[in-house]
Amino acid sequence: MEDWRFKPAADLGLTPAQRLRSLQREAGLPGAIGQALWWNAMRLYAAAVHRVRVEGREHLPAEPPFVLVANHASHLDTIVLMTSLTRAQSRRAFPLAAGDTFFDAGLSAAFAAGALNALPVWRSRTRRQEIDALRARLADDRCIFILFPEGTRTRSGEMGAFKPGLGALVAGSEIPVVPAYLDGCWRALPPQRKLPRPLPIAVRFGPALRFADRANDKDGWHAVAAASEAAVRTLGGLAPRGPAPPAAS
Amino acid sequence: MIASRFWDFAGAFAHPVTAVLVGGAVAVIVAASLVIFVLARARKVGPALEKELWLRTFSWALIVPAIVVPVLIGPAWAILAVGALGLLCYQEYARATGLFREPAVSVAVVAGILFLVFAALDHWYGFFVALFPLGVVVIAIASIPQDRPEHYIQRTALGVFAFLLFGVGLGHLGFIANDPLYRPVILMIVFAVAVSDVSAFTTGKLIGGPKLLPATSPNKTISGSLGALAAATVFVSLTAGAIYGDALALWQRALLGLLIGACAQLGDLMLSSIKRDLHIKDMGAVIPGHGGVLDRFNSLLLVSPAVFHYVHYLIGFGEAQPIRLITGS
């Protein structure tokens, strides 16, 4: 008789507080119930309040893993993207959320982990090993990562530049990046507002990009970010971004 | 009737043994704190060990009320607390074995535990017993519709094992709450397990000698095991005498103590075997200084059904009490 193969939870041995913030967090039955409740409520909300229209769903790969990237204007963005996925897909999806916004306080971290299934990204102090952990998990666990490479919500309504961290997740791998453009989130819930306006929202998915031939180094990451940003801009009918303004001295 | 199952403050300390056991537990924690304080002041222990000792004492100061308070307030709370303990144990077990990645089996196990809790709350022994085979049936069929036969035996066996340990085994501790004497009896069982654990540790450290089962648990010695049996036997002979009087002969009480001492150690060794097989150290990190909930409560899994049926055979549990409180009309 061959041995049984056991695979303990990757986040076994962490305290409850550490688990919430772990990149290796695996939701059990309680997490699955919490996420099902939250995301089914959000499906109703997105359909009823924002009449979300989805275009180009056929560009989503049939099987994970893949990375979903979009422009970032509001807290509705994750909700719109997540509820545009099938239920089977959304069970494998992890929104990457700003650690300092969502994972500092205990209650907020419990919500982000328990209901959103979010993983923390610490914007100003991301360490190499954390990026490597995310990259490995994306491939090994066949996940879907939802990522806003601008790094923050736009404060002006204009789409900002994509940061190269996205590249560190996929450069040199077969994992596709699906660009999406979110239209209407800025008007519905700009960062200055507390509560959303009931305005319509549309999301357009574009053809998946692959970066197997890009080197997994700084140049490769920047190339991945630039190509992904260009794809999102095209979907949104925006002009390509000009050369970066000279850095203020 | 139902209300008094939830709130029975008047009955909390109605039995003198309850008061003695609760007072004893509080006294032990206070004494331990004082000893640590004095030892630290006299610089007999280093700061690392001092911190470790405080952590363990602090954890005990949380665990003891978590057990004692529901038992004191009323039988329904005792049953619900045991059910919650079973669910927590299952969660740790499922995460350690990987069974949590099989939601169909997990839902069946959790449902089985919840039905057992209901049967105990209802005081419906027939349903309680019927759930043992029926729970196994539901777990066995849970993942069949997925048409995924590979690893079927593994996930089903892991589920059945969990249901029998955390649902059925622990459930017997909850079912005891249908007896009017449940407060002293449950506290006696829980504290006898603690006495056994502590005695195994101290006699093992004091006497030393050959190891018990070194591949399973490298720190346990034969002398510690015998010390635990002796301590549990003495503790239970005295306590059960104060609870049941002449209804249990001295040899019957001593046998009960031996039974608890043996099952407590076997439960400990069972969890050690599980952890060795999985190549993990602790089942979790929920209780500071102890590891997971299972690391602390493993002994009760085997002790509860053994004690229940031993006493059930000799005296009975809740014999004259009303049955089917919820489902009956």
Using an 8 Å CB-CB cutoff, list chain A residues near B285. 13-16, 18
- Chain A nearest-CA distance from B154, in A, is 7
What is the residue-averaged pLDDT of chain B? 94
pLDDT digits (tens, 9 = 90+) for A42-99: 999 999 999 999 999 999 999 999 999 999 999 999 999 999 999 999 999 999 999 9
Per-residue pLDDT, averaged over B70-87, amounts to 96
pLDDT band at B3 (very low <50, low <70, confident <90, very high): confident
pLDDT at B43: 86
Q: Find out whether B327 and B321 touch, Cβ atoms under 8 Å.
A: no
Give which of A107, A101, A116 is closest to A34, Cα–Cα. Answer: A116
Q: Could you tell me which chain B residue has the CA closest to the CA of A25? A: B95
Using an 8 Å CB-CB cutoff, list chain B residues near A32. 103
Q: What was the ipTM of the complex prediction?
A: 0.84
pLDDT at B291: 83
Give which of A109, A128, A127 is closest to A118, Cα–Cα. Answer: A109
- Nearest CB partner across the interface for A12, out of B95, B106, B277: B95
Question: E-assigned strands of chain A?
Answer: 53-55, 66-70, 93-98, 119-121, 144-147, 177-183, 202-205
3-class DSSP state of B287: strand
Is the bond leading into A65 cis (omega within 30 degrees of zero)?
Answer: yes
pLDDT digits (tens, 9 = 90+) for A171-212: 999 999 999 999 999 999 999 999 999 999 999 999 999 999
- Chain A nearest-CA distance from B12, in A, is 33
Which of A:9-48 have CB within 8 Å of B?
9, 12-16, 18, 26, 28-30, 32
Per-residue pLDDT, averaged over B313-328, amounts to 92
Per-residue pLDDT, averaged over B63-73, amounts to 94
Q: Find out whether B174 and B74 touch, Cβ atoms under 8 Å.
A: no
Q: How far is CA B48 from CA B35, B52, B60, B296, in A?
A: 16, 6, 19, 22
3-class DSSP state of A183: strand
Q: Find out whether B112 and B167 touch, Cβ atoms under 8 Å.
A: yes
Extents of the domains making up chain B:
2-314
Q: Looking at the complex, does the CB of residue A1 fall below 8 Å from at least one CB of chain B?
A: no
pLDDT band at A244 (very low <50, low <70, confident <90, very high): low
| Sequential DSSP letters for B208-254 | --SBSSTTT-TT-BHHHHHHHHHHHHHHHHHHHHHHHGGGS-HHHHH
| Range of lowest pLDDT (A152-166, B1-15, B88-102) | B1-15
Q: Which residue intervals of B42-145 are DSSP H helices?
A: 47-73, 75-97, 103-122, 125-142
Please answer yes or no on whether B280 and A8 come within 8 Å at the CB atom: yes
pLDDT at B59: 86
Q: Cα B81 to chain center, whole Å?
A: 11
Residues, chain A = 249
Give me the torsion for CA of B274, B276, B279, B280, rounded to 10°. 70
Per-residue pLDDT, averaged over A120-141, amounts to 88
Please answer yes or no on whether B107 and A7 come within 8 Å at the CB atom: no
- Domains of chain A: residue spans and CATH: 27-190+197-235 (3.40.1130.10)
What is the residue-averaged pLDDT of chain A? 92
pLDDT at B287: 83
Per-residue pLDDT, averaged over B90-97, amounts to 96
| Range of lowest pLDDT (B19-23, B91-95, B114-118, B284-288) | B284-288
3-class DSSP state of A212: coil
Give which of A5, A26, A25 is closest to B279, Cα–Cα. Answer: A5
pLDDT digits (tens, 9 = 90+) for B31-44: 999 999 999 898 88
Please answer yes or no on whether B95 and A26 come within 8 Å at the CB atom: yes
Using an 8 Å CB-CB cutoff, list chain B residues near A6. 97-98, 277-278
Distance CA A22, CA A39 (A): 21
Please answer yes or no on whether A29 and B110 come within 8 Å at the CB atom: yes
- Chain B nearest-CA distance from A63, in A, is 18
pLDDT at B48: 86
- Nearest CB partner across the interface for B100, out of A15, A18, A29: A29
3-class DSSP state of A146: strand
pLDDT at B245: 93
| Range of lowest pLDDT (A150-159, A239-248, B125-134, B285-294) | A239-248
Please answer yes or no on whether A16 and B286 come within 8 Å at the CB atom: yes
Q: What percent of chain A has pLDDT over 90?
A: 85
pLDDT band at B46 (very low <50, low <70, confident <90, very high): confident
Give the long-range contacts of residues A197-202, CB within 8 A, separation 24 or more.
A198/A49, A198/A50, A199/A50, A200/A50, A200/A51, A200/A52, A200/A53, A201/A46, A201/A50, A201/A51, A201/A52, A201/A53, A201/A76, A201/A80, A202/A52, A202/A53, A202/A54, A202/A55
| Range of lowest pLDDT (B89-93, B200-204, B301-305) | B200-204
pLDDT at B1 over 70: no
pLDDT band at B288 (very low <50, low <70, confident <90, very high): confident
Q: Could you tell me which chain B residue has the CA closest to the CA of A11? A: B95
The tokens describing A236, both together, are: 């949104």
pLDDT digits (tens, 9 = 90+) for B156-204: 999 999 999 999 999 999 999 999 999 999 999 999 999 999 999 899 9
